[in-house]
């Protein structure tokens, strides 16, 4: 039922399907704060597994270059009477947008099928639908390319491909359609600010890319206002150049039949002088920073942390692929097994890295319920530390590499996947046998190499951390991981006082604790009870705590809702020492833990009558 109808998959999925592994993995065997059972993954090793890795030879597409410089790749596959087409135009992507017009490339692509010199927007939509085809253009932020893709049946291929060439070569960018699109865009700019995923990626990209254009993740209301038909037409004229593009076909077509026709259909698309000049490469951010995006009412914290690493051509790419697999790619990886299967903190957790024509970031992250934000940070740091500090055990490494090589067999079911491999060779100028030798290169990666790339790139002292969630509950926690800046969901910085007010509102009015208390410390050898005097001004505490040998030591602290914390300054022969108390208030009693250095003790307190 899920995807029988392509217009409804989202709706149906959301409404009716609950899955064990949602896209990007899932199923959170969780535990909440009261159930502390930790459930270990258990390997019995009794399943019948073929020891051989099924190695496959990936078929290569037919390749040709048209007179205008356009590269054509054709993967014939006659199993089913369907064809899919993708045109990827490097140089036409948002990476090259003027900085004052974010979204120009994206909107140009979106407007391609909103009217041509001979067809209205409505005519295009109706013709595409009548032919049972799909047609769309897209461009994602950070990409050097824009893309047009289409699919349909092979028996009316020429009819629907004519629509494809029409929107590519003759878009009209009609002003009335642009105005309508602008209205829809403005609404979606508004709606996306409710999505934690968008807020994380917006803040994380700003943090790691800095001035690099890949920092941009969205158009702005101002840029949307500024788009004109002429600006779009100019972008299309100047940036959609055949010599920088790859047109690929997969499915029920014949290369020998198709190539001469393409010369005719696309002959008028003229070669230009445009050369691709990338902006200066981003470099890793040198200092640790934490960004909290306050999304009120959140019941989860969405965390992402990382920093700039490598580009796609880097010789460390393949060891990084293996390292990433071990650390956090998929349900057999360390992050999933630890944070999800053992700790039950989350439904989905993973690591990834972006390596394109310019260096992109590594990152780890996931969405976790608010209450375990701190525990999750601890585990993320533990796993990052572990892969840096310890060589991956041989068995684990072998399994990870084997998994990746074996997975190539599955790509044979998807000709479009095979084409994307072929495009990678073209775009990055790799040798023709790149994918043939790729399994061997993966298998050759050693534990020492994995550790080396982890130590080189996963730098915990400089990584950028983004947490989207309820700032009133998580800001204080996040302060342990670096200097914190707080933003609202609109992307604006939030003043310190406003955050404090939110925290206070979140916690409720501070409990009344002023007065005298008998505080009992429960030590291994028995308990000690002493007098605690507290004075209170709103959420601020001052007071004294009786010392062992008489006299009183001063304390300062705070009350937020029912949470109390205070620090007592003691004079010792070796100088001043801080003893920290934290706990909760329940009317006339309090309880919590005391911390001094490595020592931690529990305490209770009773209001003195």
Partner 1 sequence: MRKARVFLAGLLGVGLLVLVPLAQGVQAAESGKSAQSIRLEFEEFKLENGLRVILAEDHSAPTYSISVTYDVGSRNERPGRTGFAHLFEHMMFQGSEKVGKGEHFILIFNNGGGMNGTTNVDRTNYYETLPANQLDLGLFLEADRMRSLVINQANLDNQRNAVQEERRLSVDNRAYGKTFEAIFETAYDNFAYKHSTIGSMADLDAATVEDVAEFFRIYYAPNNAVLALVGDFKKKEALAKIEKYFGDIPAQPPPSEPDMTEPEQKGERRKTLEDSFARLARVDIVHKIPPANTPDWYALDVLGEVLASGQSSRLYQKLVKEEQVAVAAAGGVFMLRGPSILLLLALARPGKEIAEIEKLVYEEIERLKNEPIEDWELEKVRMQLRHQRVQQLQSTSFRARLLGEYAVNFDDPGLINTIGEKYLQVSKEDVQRVARKYLKQSNRTVITTVPKPAETAEAKPGE
Under rule CB under 8 A, which residues in 119-158 are in contact with partner 1?
121-122, 125-126, 128-134, 151-153, 155
Per rule CB under 8 A, is residue 196 in the interface with partner 1?
Answer: yes
Per rule CB under 8 A, is residue 163 in the interface with partner 1?
Answer: no
Nearest alpha carbon to residue 206 among 320, 144, 289, 279: 289
Nearest to partner 1 of 357, 397 (CB atom): 397
- The phi and psi torsions of 220 (rounded to 5 degrees) equal -120, 160
Q: Which two tokens stand for residue 580?
A: 């920290």
Per rule CB under 8 A, is residue 297 in the interface with partner 1?
Answer: yes
Segment interacting with partner 1 (CB under 8 A) among 304-312, 328-336, 429-437, 536-544: 328-336
Nearest to partner 1 of 15, 599 (CB atom): 15
Nearest alpha carbon to residue 141 among 102, 169, 112: 102
CA distance 371 to 33: 8
Cα Rg of the chain, angstroms: 30
If one counts every other C-beta atom within 10 angstroms of the C-beta of residue 507, the result is 17
Residues numbered 459-478 forming contacts with partner 1, rule: CB under 8 A: none
| DSSP reduced 3-state for 582 | strand
Question: For partner 1, which residue of 263, 314, 316, 341 counts as binding (CB under 8 A)?
Answer: 341
Residues numbered 28-47 forming contacts with partner 1, rule: CB under 8 A: 28-32, 35, 37, 39-44, 46-47
Contacts of 107 (CB under 8 A, 6+ apart): 181, 185, 219, 224, 227, 232
Question: For partner 1, which residue of 50, 118, 315, 598 counts as binding (CB under 8 A)?
Answer: 50
Per rule CB under 8 A, is residue 521 in the interface with partner 1?
Answer: no
Residues numbered 235-274 forming contacts with partner 1, rule: CB under 8 A: none
Burial 329-356 (b: 16+ CB within 10 A, else e): bbbebbbbbbbbbbbbbbbbbbbbbbbb
Per rule CB under 8 A, is residue 53 in the interface with partner 1?
Answer: yes
Per rule CB under 8 A, is residue 584 in the interface with partner 1?
Answer: no
Q: What is the DSSP letter of 493?
A: B
Per rule CB under 8 A, is residue 11 in the interface with partner 1?
Answer: yes
Nearest to partner 1 of 82, 605 (CB atom): 82
Nearest to partner 1 of 243, 489 (CB atom): 489
- Shortest Å, Cβ 510 to partner 1: 15
Nearest to partner 1 of 133, 305 (CB atom): 133
CA 180 to chain centre: 31
Per rule CB under 8 A, is residue 58 in the interface with partner 1?
Answer: no
Question: For partner 1, which residue of 257, 273, 275, 413 counts as binding (CB under 8 A)?
Answer: 413
Contacts of 422 (CB under 8 A, 6+ apart): 60, 61, 63, 73, 75, 248
Per rule CB under 8 A, is residue 175 in the interface with partner 1?
Answer: no
Q: Which two tokens stand for residue 146?
A: 């824009």
- Shortest Å, Cβ 164 to partner 1: 15
The 3-state secondary structure of 329-398, one letter per residue: CCCCCHHHHHHHHHCCCEEEEEEEEEECCCEEEEEEEEEEEHHHHHHHHHHHHHHHHHHHHCCCCHHHHH
How many residues bind partner 1 (CB under 8 A)? The answer is 111
Question: For partner 1, which residue of 175, 410, 514, 547 counts as binding (CB under 8 A)?
Answer: 410
Per rule CB under 8 A, is residue 409 in the interface with partner 1?
Answer: yes
Question: For partner 1, which residue of 162, 412, 480, 531 counts as binding (CB under 8 A)?
Answer: 412
- Shortest Å, Cβ 300 to partner 1: 5
Per rule CB under 8 A, is residue 538 in the interface with partner 1?
Answer: no
Question: For partner 1, which residue of 67, 184, 261, 608 counts as binding (CB under 8 A)?
Answer: 184
Binding map of partner 1 across residues 481-520, x = CB under 8 A, - = no contact: ----------------xx--xx--xx--------------
If one counts every other C-beta atom within 10 angstroms of the C-beta of residue 48, the result is 4
């Amino acid at each position: 039922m899920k995807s029988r109808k392509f217009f409804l998959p989202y709706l149906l999925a959301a409404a009716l399907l609950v899955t064990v592994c949602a896209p990007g993995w899932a199923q959170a065997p969780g535990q909440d704060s009261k159930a502390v059972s930790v459930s270990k993954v258990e390997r019995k090793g009794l399943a019948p597994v073929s020891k051989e890795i099924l190695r496959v030879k990936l078929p290569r597409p037919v390749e040709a270059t048209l007179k205008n410089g356009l590269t054509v790749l054709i993967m014939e596959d006659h199993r089913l009477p369907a064809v899919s087409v993708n045109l990827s135009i490097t140089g036409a992507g948002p990476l090259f947008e003027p900085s004052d017009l974010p979204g120009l490339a994206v909107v140009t692509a979106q407007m391609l099928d909103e009217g041509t010199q001979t067809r209205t927007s409505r005519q295009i939509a109706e013709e595409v639908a009548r032919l049972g085809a799909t047609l769309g253009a897209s461009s994602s932020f950070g990409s050097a390319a824009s893309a047009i893709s289409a699919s349909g049946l092979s028996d009316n291929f020429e009819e629907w491909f004519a629509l494809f060439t029409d929107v590519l070569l003759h878009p009209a960018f009609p002003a009335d359609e642009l105005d309508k699109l602008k209205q829809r865009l403005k609404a979606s700019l508004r709606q996306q600010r409710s999505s934690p995923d968008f807020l994380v990626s917006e803040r994380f990209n700003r943090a790691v890319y800095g001035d690099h254009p890949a920092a941009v993740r969205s158009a702005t209301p101002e840029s949307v206002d500024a788009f004109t038909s002429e600006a779009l037409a100019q972008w299309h004229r100047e940036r959609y150049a055949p010599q920088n593009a790859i047109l690929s076909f997969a499915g029920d077509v014949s290369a020998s039949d198709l190539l001469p026709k393409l010369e005719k259909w696309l002959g008028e698309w003229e070669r230009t002088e445009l050369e691709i000049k990338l902006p200066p490469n981003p470099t890793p951010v040198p200092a640790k920073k934490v960004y909290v995006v306050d999304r009120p009412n959140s019941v989860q914290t969405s965390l992402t942390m990382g920093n700039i690493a490598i580009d796609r051509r880097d010789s460390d790419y393949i060891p990084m692929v293996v390292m990433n697999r071990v650390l956090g790619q998929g349900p057999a990886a360390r992050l999933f097994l630890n944070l999800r299967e053992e700790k039950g903190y989350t439904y989905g957790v993973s690591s990834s890295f972006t390596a394109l024509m310019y260096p992109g970031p590594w990152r780890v992250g996931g969405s976790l319920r608010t209450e375990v934000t701190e525990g999750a940070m601890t585990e993320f740091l533990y796993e990052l530390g572990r892969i840096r500090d310890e060589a991956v055990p041989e068995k684990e490494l072998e399994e990870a590499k084997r998994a990746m090589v074996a997975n190539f067999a599955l790509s044979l079911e998807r000709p479009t996947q095979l084409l994307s491999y072929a495009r990678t060779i073209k775009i990055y100028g790799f040798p023709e046998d790149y994918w043939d030798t790729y399994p061997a290169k993966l298998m050759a990666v050693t534990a020492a190499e994995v550790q080396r790339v982890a130590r080189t790139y996963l730098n915990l002292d400089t990584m950028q951390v983004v947490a989207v969630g309820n700032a009133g509950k998580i800001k204080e926690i996040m302060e342990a991981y670096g200097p914190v800046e707080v933003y609202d969901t609109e992307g604006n910085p939030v003043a310190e006082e406003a955050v404090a007010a939110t925290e206070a509102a979140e916690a409720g009015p501070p409990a009344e604790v002023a007065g005298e208390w008998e505080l009992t410390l429960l030590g291994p050898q028995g308990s000690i009870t002493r007098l605690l005097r507290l004075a209170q001004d709103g959420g601020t505490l001052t007071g004294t705590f009786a010392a062992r040998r008489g006299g009183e030591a001063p304390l300062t602290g705070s009350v937020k809702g029912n949470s109390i914390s205070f620090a007592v300054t003691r004079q010792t022969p070796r100088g001043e020492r801080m003893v920290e108390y934290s706990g909760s208030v329940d009317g006339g009693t309090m309880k919590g833990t005391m911390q001094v250095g490595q020592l931690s003790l529990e305490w209770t307190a009773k209001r003195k009558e």
